[in-house]
Amino acid sequence: MAQRSRGPISDWRADAAPDDLREYDAFGPWIDPVRTEIGMPRAFRHWYPELADSAFLLKIPRDVDRASARPGQDLFAAVLAVGERGVCQLRLAGGTVTREDATWEQVVACGTYTNLLLARWSLLLSNGSALHVPHNSVGSDLMAKVTAYVRSHIAAPSQRSGQPELAAVGVPQDYSASKLAELKRTFRAPVVAIHVEQKNRLCRSGRFGRRLSTGLMVVDTPDELVLVSGGEPTRSIFAANYATHVLVVPYRGLDSFALTPGSAGPDFRCLELRAGCQVIEQHCLDHPAAVIAALNGREVLPVEPRGEVAGALA
């Protein structure tokens, strides 16, 4: 039986343009710095002259299987530029590039969320919006350097720097202890854990539901309040939780705070930190008295809940 002849097999590497092949060969889940105009992904290259002098100019890869990727495709989802004037993110979606800009005066908090390989770096803005950079967690070390740079601009010493007398609390020997040690290495001393809630405490999620808490540690530094949590405040009794959320909130950007009923369940209170139109919510199983003392010590104004709500939270 005669074999059917096949058409010519395309050698896509030989057919690729040199610049496209170079970008493809360097493509992976990591975040890469952009150092030259030709190194800027094609979809964003128009902005390279404007952003070239940034302290950090980074290209964020798309979440695609490398086996299905080919030279010449748009392999990068976004470009992040961080410099003296602020932050700019260019994002590609559906063939269209959108742009988000923020000055340092607009940034009121910086957050990092990780859950195994999933990660998200965020800036919260005083107009109530947020700038998010989803990425693979293999890029977390580089994004930690970006966070340090951001903090140097948004959490510099101010009239609210310094600390009231607050007692340190014990920290469980789990992720909280390692995170506290890291904060002590990278934040201006003294770095004090002032509120800790151990994870896996049984709590109510509704009238009859039962769930486990994911834990919380609040750390006070001279210039910043740091919230370390497990992402969502509760998890299913039958499901593990590997998420961690670290949110750095400079005191100098805060306007007021309030303690309200928690939407996570009847056992929770919600500490609301307000900076302009931005409201940062942190659910607490225990009354965050030491956190309130830290805020009062920086003259952040309390906004008291009204009527029966105030009585319930006392």
Residue 292: is its pLDDT beyond 90? yes
Copy the structure tokens of residue 36. 């030259």
Instruction: Residue 22: name the closest of 45, 40, 43, 9 by CA.
Output: 40
Q: Kindly report, residue by residue over 171-182, the tens digit of the pLDDT.
A: 887 778 899 999
Q: Mean pLDDT of all residues in the chain? A: 88
pTM of the model: 0.89
pLDDT at 207 (0 to 100): 62
Assess contact for 279 and 271: CB atoms under 8 A: no
Assess contact for 110 and 99: CB atoms under 8 A: no
Residue 199: is its pLDDT beyond 80? yes
pLDDT at 133 (0 to 100): 96
**Average pLDDT estimate for 237-260:** 94
pLDDT at 154 (0 to 100): 94
**Average pLDDT estimate for 99-113:** 97
More confident residue, 311 or 244: 244
pLDDT at 208 (0 to 100): 59
Helix, strand, coil shares, percent, the chain, to 5: 25, 35, 40
**Average pLDDT estimate for 107-129:** 97
Q: What angle do CA 235, 241, 247 make, to 5 degrees?
A: 95
Based on DSSP, count helices (H) and strands (E) in the chain, helices before strands: 7, 19
Beta strands in the chain (DSSP E): 32-33, 56-61, 76-83, 86-93, 96-103, 107-115, 118-125, 130-136, 192-197, 202-204, 210-213, 216-220, 224-229, 234-235, 243-250, 256-261, 269-275, 278-284, 301-302
pLDDT at 15 (0 to 100): 65
**Average pLDDT estimate for 185-189:** 91
Distance from C-alpha of 296 to C-alpha of 152, rounded to nearest angstrom: 24
Q: What angle do CA 126, 32, 115 make, to 5 degrees?
A: 60
pLDDT at 310 (0 to 100): 44
**Average pLDDT estimate for 110-133:** 97
